[in-house]
Amino acid sequence: MKTLWFENLYVGGQVLNNVAVLVADDGSVEEMRAGVNAPPEAVTYSGLALPGANNAHSHAFHRLLRGRTHADGGTFWTWRKVMYRAAEQLTPENYYLLARAVYAEMLTAGYTSVAEFHYVHHQVGGKPYGSHDMELALARAARDVGIRLVLLDTCYLTGGIGQELNEQQARFSDGSIDGYLERHAGLATALADDLGGAFGGYSTVGYSGSEDPLVTLGSAIHSVRGVAKPDLPAFAGLDGPLHVHLSEQPAENEACLEHYGVTPTRLLADAGVVTDRLSAVHATHLTDEDIRLLGDARSAVVMCPTTEADLADGIGPASALAGAGAVISLGSDQHVVLDPLLELRALEAGERLGSGERGRFSPDELIAALTSGGAYSMHIRPGVGVGEAQVADFVVVDTESVRTAGSVGEQVVLAATATDATHVIVGGREVAAHGEHAQLGDVAQLYGAALREFELD
């Protein structure tokens, strides 16, 4: 049992002052009392504490592309060729180093959990590793950093609708839906065997829904380009969260309509996978019927605004989706930046630019997208209140910096950046402070060690 004391704490849609938070040994919030002096045994924090940010969509290896794909313009599809060249260089050893640096950067920025949309399963050419080596590399990186990881084991079987895989995509594929399901079934056991034991007072591995594991397992359909129509119903029978890249590009919609006669959302709905388990990532180019299907199902929609802007994907219908009943969450995707507050701001900025109206999402709704919305998408416990269902995950924001001085209450999220994240806490345990990881130190040095393992030019 430990006690944290916050000068200001955002919880339940309001900012409370002088708040003592009693954290149970399992990392959950046992009790919360506002308007009290700091107990002698408490760890104290000034500024404004927010629930830890949940990053609902990540491709860790895409961080290799930051600052390297802008010189000649290009399109999403030319960018994808550069991404494939980066994927070809990944090994379990260098991916561990890279993911460790990426997750450490996330943590210091205020992300306390991440959903890793992972499809680089095999060796170049498609030969399997000995025992889930790439997946274990990611899980070990998350464990060593101390960030909560939802490992979305991704199925990728076709190179496009009606197309064979190309040479670069071969290492993503399990050959068939049965091959994917067989490998997926063995992955949880492999994770438990490798990560068994405790980390920071809580279990290191389990399925989503188990008590409070650091690493949980979900599944993903890469896209309707990557999994053919006959194989989609297989995902309805899996446990845990299910994610899919959906309608990121008009070309995907056009190919789906030409081949199947329906939109990607309708194709998924007809396969029985558009449910409250589903998270549709991007969802940029949707019809009115698509929006209704996702809303009626209470599906999550993961917007990745800085990536969508970087790739010129377009502005997705976030407000319309929220109005229809979908749950909005946020992800950093290719990590153009790793800053949860910039993602939050970009969501609202896109809405304002597209509509010509301010305040499309209130500060409370933006914080919810970053916190409870992400938890909904990832099937993890939210860090937003008191009780067994809540975890003691917080990011403390400096309210007196050059960016934030004068901000009113929770509106600070529309002024602050990750630079203002002074402390990050996971399960009641301080894991980062002032941009440095508590155990691993300077994140730039972690990147230096990782990037030396790649030939990027």
Alpha-carbon distance 124 to 172, whole Å?
9
Helical residues (DSSP H) of 72-220, grouped into ranges:
76-88, 92-109, 133-145, 177-195
Using alpha carbons, select from 209, 230, 228, 369 the residue that is nearest to residue 300: 369
Q: What's the token pair of residue 284?
A: 């940029």
68 & 189 share domain: yes
pLDDT of residue 386: 53
372 and 447 share a domain? no
Selected catalytic residue, list 282, 335, 379, 437: 282
pLDDT of residue 203: 38
Q: 12 and 133: one domain?
A: no
Which residue segment(s) compose the domain that 79 sits in?
52-378
Query: Which among 378, 409, 437 is the end of a domain?
Result: 378
What is residue 270's three-state secondary structure? helix
My answer on whether 288 and 423 are in the same domain is no
Q: Tell me which of 200 and 90 has the higher pLDDT.
A: 90
Please report whether residue 457 resides in a domain: no
Residues 155 and 182 in one domain: yes
Backbone angles phi, psi at 38, to 5 degrees: -65, 125
CATH code, domain with 366: 3.20.20.140
Per-residue pLDDT of 102-151, as tens digits, reads 999 999 999 999 999 999 999 999 999 999 999 999 999 999 999 999 99
The model's pTM is 0.94
Same domain, 363 and 408: no
Same domain flag for 154 and 266: yes
What is the 8-class DSSP label of residue 325? T
pLDDT in tens, 220-273: 999 999 999 999 999 999 989 999 999 999 999 999 999 999 999 999 999 999
Q: Of 54-58, 254-258, 347-351, 388-392, which range is least confident?
A: 388-392
Q: Does one domain contain both 276 and 203? A: yes
Is the residue at 413 inside a domain?
yes
Q: What is the pLDDT of residue 46?
A: 97
Cβ-count burial of 99 within 10 angstroms (0-12 exposed, 13-18 middle, 19+ buried)?
buried
121 is annotated as an active-site residue: no
Rounded to whole angstroms, the Cα distance separating 346 from 344 reads 6
Nearest to 344 by CA among 330, 360, 323: 330
Q: Which of 153, 310, 333, 398 is catalytic?
A: 333
Last residue of a domain, one of 378, 408, 432: 378
Q: Do 87 and 225 belong to one domain?
A: yes
Predicted local distance difference test score (pLDDT) of residue 390: 85
Domains of the chain: total: 2
Last residue of a domain, one of 337, 361, 378: 378
Contact, 330 vs 300, CB < 8 A? Answer: no
Is 326 found in the same domain as 283? Answer: yes
| 75-84, 134-143, 148-157, 393-402: least confidently modelled range | 75-84
Residues in the chain: 457
The Cα 187–Cα 173 span in angstroms is 15
The pLDDT-based confidence of 84 (bands split at 50, 70, 90) is confident
The answer as to whether 66 is a domain residue is: yes
pLDDT at 209: 35
Q: Residue 239 catalytic?
A: no
